[in-house]
Structure 1
Amino acid sequence: MKVDNKKILVIFLGTHNAGPVYAYEMTKGLIQNGAIVSAIVSSYTANISAWRSLPLKKLVELPTYHDKREFLFETCKLFLYKKRKLQSLFYGEYFDAIYSPFFAVWNHWIIKSFHDIPLLYTVHDPILHSSESKLNRIINSFVAKDIRAADTVIVLSSIFRKYISEHYKKRNEDIIVLPHGTFESYRDVGHDRTEARGWYQDHLNSINFLFFGRIEYYKGIDLLIEAYSTLEKRYSDRVSLLIAGKGNFSPYRDAFNQLKNAKLLNYTIPDEDVMSLFCGQNIVTILPYRDATQSGVINLAAQSSSLIISTNVGGLPEQLDYGKAGILTEPTVQEILETMQDVVENKEKYTELVEYGKIKVKTLTWNKLAEKLLRRI
C-alpha cells in the first residue's frame, strides 16, 4: 500500500561494507511506496551505479574520501565550501523528513545542515561492540549526537528499544523497530568461477561451514577456528571451513594455517559474488559472535536455504525467532564445537529450521519496511 507523496531527503555518505546496499534498498522501498525522494550519496559508494538508476527527484553525488589522508583534506574542504554549495542545491525545497539509513562520518555534518527538518535516524549498533578501537569510540560520539537530535529513532531489534529510551531519553512512541531486510539487490552469482564456487565443488560430500563478514575480534573468529580445528580432527574430509571477509587476519593466521580443509578469502567480496558464498552443497552459515546487534548475513543465509548456527547474543536470537529459524549456541569454544558436531552427525533433523527461515525472510521486504517507516512521518 502506497503512502501519499511524502517528500524525503536521504543522506548516506558511506562507501563500503553493508551500508551502501542497506541504504539503497531502503531508498528503493520508499520510492515504491510513493515517496518523492532526493538523495545525497558519496560519489565513491560501492553501488553508485544502482543509485543512478533509481527514479529520484534529485541525486547529489558528493566526493568524500578514499583513505585517512584524504579524509583530513576533504573534510577541510567540506567545511570551507562544500556544505554551503550543498545547501544551495536544495535551497527553497520542502522535505517532510531527513532520513539517515546507515551511519557514515560525514552524515553527521550534513544532517546538521538541515537541522530544521524532522530527522529519521537508523541506529545499527546502539551499543558498541567489544574491543572497539579508540577511533570508533570517538566516531560513536557523533552517532550519540544524531540520536539525540532525531525525531524518530529506528532500531533493528526490539531488545534495544529500552536502551535507546533510557540512555537517550526518548519517548517510546519516538522509537520504532524495523528488522533487517533481505538484501535483494545482490545478484545470484557474478560468474561461475568464483573462489567460493570452486571450493564447494571440491567439497561436494562435506558439511561446509561458512563465516562471512568483516574480520573483527567481537565476531569470534578465534572461537570458530579453535572449535573447527577439533572438529576437523574428528571428521577429517567430512567437513570444510570457508572464511570470507576483509579485515586484519594476522591474530588468527597461525592457528588457521594448521587446518587441513579450510580456505580464507581475506578481501571485500564484490557485490556480484556475494551469493556465490551460499551456492553449494551442505552449506552451514556460522556466526560465532561474542556480542552483536544484528546481522544481514542471517537473511542472506536464510534466503539461500543455508542452515544457520549463531551464538545467543545481542539481537541475533530475535532475528532467528529464538531458535525457530536457526540453531542458537553459547559463545564458547566448547559450545560451538558441540553444536557443529551435532550438525555433522544429524544435519537432517534441522530441516524445519531452514524452511522456517526461508518463509520468515520472505516477509522482510524493503517495500513493507519502508511503508512502515513512512507511516511515522
Structure 2
Amino acid sequence: MKVFFIPYDREGNNPYQNLLLNHLQDLGVKVEGSGTYRIFSLLRSTFSHWKPDILHLHWHHPFLLGSNITKTIIKSVSFIAELLILKLVEVKIVWTVHNIVSHEGKFESLELFFTKLLAKMCNKIIVHSPSAKREIVKIYRASESLIKVIPHGNYINCYRNVISKAQAKNKLQLKAEKIIFLYFGLIRPYKGISELIQAFNKLNYSRTRLLIVGKPINNEIVHDILKKCEENENIKTFFEFIPDDEIQIYMNAADVVVLPYRDILTSGAIILAMSFGKPVIAPAIGCIPETLDIEGSFLYEPSEKDGLIKAMRQVFNADLIKMGNHNFELAKQFRWGKIAKKTYEVYCDCLKRKK
C-alpha cells in the first residue's frame, strides 16, 4: 500500500507526522510526502514519486489560502481541481481534520466554502475526538459514516526527559519554592493568553510564577502580552521556537500547565503536557473534557466569570504530583502503534481491502 502525506514537514518541527509515518511503515505501508504548496504542486509532487493508493491530507489551509481574495480563489480552485484529477485516476483521499478553519480567520467564509467542497471529495475523514466529529458533521455537513475517530497519539519518549525539576528551575533562574504555571505552545490570539495574564495578575500570590513560552504569530501579539504583564515581575516570557531537547526544561520546571483556549478542535499541547506527567488547567470545551478528567486536571467553564482564576486557585490545595502521574497513565493509552493500526484500517476501508 502506497500513501502520500500532504503537507509533510520534513524538518520534523512537529513529530506528529513522523510518529504516524514510522508506525505505518512498521505495518508495511510505504509513505512519502511533500511540503510544497504552490499551485498544481500537488499533482507534480504526487506523480514525481509514484502514483499512491491514498492521498492523506493533514493541514488544508496552505493549499487554500492566499495573501488576498483573488489569490485565495485561484489557489482553492486549483487545489480542488487537482483533487478531482487524483480521484479520476482512483487515488483515494483521506483527510485528518485538525482545525475547522484557519485560526487567523483570513477570508473565513471563502475558506469554509472550499473546505466544505473538500469534505465532500474525501473517501474518509479522520478526527481526534467525538466532539470534533460532531463539529464536522454540523459545519461541513459531512456524513457520519464518512468520519472515523482516532485519538491523537502521545509524546512519551518522543522528547528528551532526563532533567530534574530542580535542575530545570535552576536553568530558568526560578526559585525552588515557587509554584510554576506554564503556558506552552504557539502564541496566537485564540489561545487565550491575555485572559491567562489577567487571571494570574488577580492571584496576587507571591509564591507563584507564570511562564509564557512559545513562538508568536506576529509582533503585535508580543507587544500586547508585554504590555499586560509589564507590572508583574512574576511573569516571565520566552518568545521563541523551543528546540526539541529544551522542551523538557520548561515542562519539568512547571507544576501545572495552563491552556486557556477560547476555542479548540484538537490539542497536541494537552497531550504533550500529559506525556510529561503534568496536571492541566483548561476550559471544558471541545475535545478537552474527552481527553482529560477531574483526577488530572482543573477544568472550568469559560462562560463562568472568573472561571479560570478559580481553577488556578485550586492548584494550591491539590496533590499536583499525583494528578500529573494520573495524566501520564492516561497518555499511555494513546500509543502510536495502536493509532497507526486504526489509520491503516481506514486506508483499507477506502481500498476495500482486508484489514
For normalisation by structure 1, the TM-score amounts to: 0.76
Identify if the C-alpha distance between structure 1 residues 112 and 212 changes in structure 2 by more than 3 Å, giving closer, same or farther: farther
Determine the C-alpha separation between the residues in 1 that align with 2:195 and 2:12: 23
CA shift for structure 1 position 333:
6.3
Report percent identity of matched pairs.
25
Name the residue aligned to 1:337.
309
Q: Name 1:71's counterpart in structure 2.
A: none
Q: How many Å apart are 1:106 and its aligned residue?
A: 3.5
Q: Are residue 106 (structure 1) and residue 76 (structure 2) matched?
A: no
2:16 corresponds, among 17, 22, 40, to 22
Shift of 1:26: 1.4
CA offsets 1:322-346 (integer angstroms, 9 cap, x no match): x2431101236622112212212x1
Change (3 A) 1:223 1:167: closer
- Give the corresponding residue for 2:34: 41
Query: Quick check: 1:210 aligned with 2:210?
Result: no
CA distance in 2, matches of 1:263, 1:136: 34
Q: Give the structure 2 partner of residue 286 of structure 1.
A: 258
Counterpart position of 1:3: none
One-letter amino acid of the counterpart of residue 35, structure 1 = V
1:166–1:334 CA distance, 2 compared to 1 (3 A) = closer
The residue type paired with residue 99 of structure 1 is H
Is the partner of 1:162 in helix, strand or coil? helix
Structure 2 Cα separation of the partners of residues 96 and 355 of structure 1: 41
Partner in structure 1 of residue 340 of structure 2: 370
Cα distance, 1:270 vs structure 2: 2.0
Retained in 1: the 8 A contact 2:298–2:314? no
Equivalents in 1 of 2:114, 2:46: separation in Å?
A: 21
Spell out, residue by residue over 1:99-158, the C-alpha distance to the aligned partner (whole angstroms, 9 max, x if none).
1233351387365553331111000113665xx432566555544332221111011110
Q: Quick check: 1:180 aligned with 2:180? A: no
The residue aligned with 1:96 is 53
Amino acid at match of 2:45: L
For the residue of structure 1 that corresponds to 2:21, the secondary structure is: helix
SS at match of 1:375: helix
CA contact (8 A) 1:119 1:149 kept: yes
Alignment partners' CA distance in 1, 2:129 and 2:209: 32
Match of 2:243 in 1: 270
The aligned amino acid for 2:215 is K
Query: CA, structure 1 residues 22+149, in 2 after alignment: closer, same or farther (shift >3 Å)?
Result: same
Query: How many residue pairs are counted as aligned between the two chains?
Result: 323
Is residue 190–residue 272 contact of structure 1 (8 Å, CA) maintained in 2?
Answer: no
1:261 is the counterpart of 2:218: no
**One-letter amino acid of the structure 2 residue matched with residue 101 of structure 1:** H
Quick one: distance in 1 between partners of 2:239 and 2:168? 12
Aligned twin of 1:58? none
Q: 2:192 aligns with which of 220, 236, 239?
A: 220
Cα gap change, 1:142/1:30 in structure 2, threshold over 3 Å: closer, same or farther? Answer: farther
Q: CA offset at residue 209 of structure 1?
A: 0.2
Normalising by structure 2, we get a TM-score of: 0.80
Question: What secondary structure sits across from 1:121 in the alignment?
Answer: strand
**Contact conserved, 1:8 with 1:99, CA < 8 A, in 2?**
yes
Alpha-carbon distance between aligned partners in 2 of 1:83 and 1:295, rounded to the nearest angstrom:
27
Aligned to 1:67: none
Please tell me the residue identity of whatever aligns with 2:241.
Answer: T
Stretches of structure 2 lacking an aligned partner (at least 5 in a row): 65-75, 349-355
Corresponding residue for residue 2 of structure 2: 7
Amino acid at match of 1:330: E
Q: What is the match of residue 212 of structure 2?
A: 243
- Return closer, same or farther for 1:111/1:198 CA change in 2, 3 Å cut-off: farther
Q: Is 1:186–1:275's contact at 8 Å kept on the other side of the alignment?
A: no
CA distance in 2, matches of 1:184, 1:151: 31
> Residue 21 of structure 1: CA displacement?
2.2
Aligned counterpart for 1:347 among listed residues 318, 329, 340: 318
Match of 2:72 in 1: none
